[in-house]
A = this chain, B = another copy of it.
Amino acid sequence: MSTRIDSIDLVEGVCAGQSRAIARMLSRAEAGEAEAAEALDVLYRRAGRAHVVGITGVPGSGKSTLVAKIAAAVLASGRRIGIIAVDPSSPFSGGSILGDRIRMGEVTGDPAVFMRSMATRGALGGLARGTLEAVDILDAAGYDMIVIETVGVGQDEVDVVRAAHTTVVVSAPGLGDDIQAIKAGILEIADVHAVSKGDKPEADRTVTELKVMLGLDLPASGLKRAIPVIKTCAASGAGVAELLAAIDAHREHLVTSGEYESRRQSIRERRMLKAAEQILHDEFERHRQGRMADLLTALGTTLVSPRTAARRLLAHIGMEIGQ
């Protein structure tokens, strides 16, 4: 009962934009506490106003520094920004880049910036549980823009970027071919390309290469808009305003083209499927010694194939939930 009242207070605190409530709610989401589920459902329904921007790039692409510059530009435009860093190599966890501004934000009542570093799920990478719930929390708390920063190499991280309305892929000039090969997959999910370290002599070549690649892809992919490629330099601040303008323009484009609603719906569907997978895994683990034991024995004799066992597992879980 006290937990329930506590939850209601927390939800109200989040919606009032109180940093302490936001921080506590984020911790509960990250821990995957069962009691947090109801509060998160309420926050999900209160969310939906923020512009969610995924920013991705391999380690060394200068993405974190660029995020800090974008944050400053968002603030300067009179908007509030929330940042969720899921890149283990991001310096944001130390608060070293936005510095006092962020640290102050975390303790005062109504900060213009809220930053949270989410742990990755084990050394194998994979996304922290609760990342998408964290977006809901910051959204319900009234942040105008929410940036999810990821390293973007694993499938789970790609999934998170796909949960964004606008995806920015950051490429650094002069990264080796090996890196580019790894990156190839994430290039095509970009709504906006940023080339970092624009003061390097190779930056213009990287811009050209990206434009050529996008130009070649255009007819086949049936894209409705040209994808901007913006050269930036975090040190001098060059290109940062243009990058923010391109991010804002992409949201405009989504809204006017009607794509915004369809993208939001596909994000919701993907979240539903991910949640279903999570329930599947949780229920399986929960009943491993109990009602799943026979199934596991049958699987072990190889008389039952994984596919047949999977059908039985789904039947078990579905029946139980349906009751």
Contacts and interface: CB of A to CB of B under 8 A. Distances in A.
Interface of A: 37, 40-41, 44-45, 48, 58-60, 89, 123-126, 151, 153-156, 158, 175-179, 181-182, 184-186, 188-189, 265, 268-269, 271-281, 284, 296, 299-300, 302-303, 305-311, 313-322
B60 A123 contact: no
A151 B155 CA distance: 13
A263 to B, nearest CB: 12
Q: Which 8 A-B pairs have the closest CB atoms?
A: A318-B318, A275-B310, A315-B322, A271-B306, A276-B310, A60-B178, A41-B305, A272-B306
Contact of A276 (B153, B182, B314): B314
19 contacts: A37-B307, A40-B305, A41-B305, A58-B182, A60-B176, A123-B184, A153-B182, A154-B155, A176-B176, A273-B281, A273-B313, A274-B306, A276-B314, A277-B277, A277-B280, A280-B314, A316-B318, A318-B320, A318-B322
Given A126-B155, A299-B269, A318-B318, A182 B59 contact: yes
Contact of A318 (B41, B296, B306, B319): B319
Given A154-B155, A185-B123, A186-B124, A59 B302 contact: no
Contacts of A278: 310
A44 B303 CA distance: 9
Contacts of A60: 176-178, 181
Contact of A156 (B155, B268, B302): B155
B313 A276 contact: yes
**Most chain-B Cβ atoms within 10 A of its Cβ — which of A59, A181, A272?**
A272
A319 B158 CA distance: 32
Given A124-B158, A277-B277, A311 B321 contact: yes
Contact of A178 (B59, B271, B306): B59
A305 B124 contact: no
Given A125-B158, A277-B280, 15 more contacts: A44-B306, A58-B182, A59-B181, A60-B181, A89-B181, A123-B184, A175-B178, A176-B176, A179-B179, A265-B299, A269-B296, A271-B306, A273-B281, A276-B314, A314-B321
Contact of A302 (B48, B124, B175, B277): B48
Contact of A41 (B45, B184, B308, B313): B308
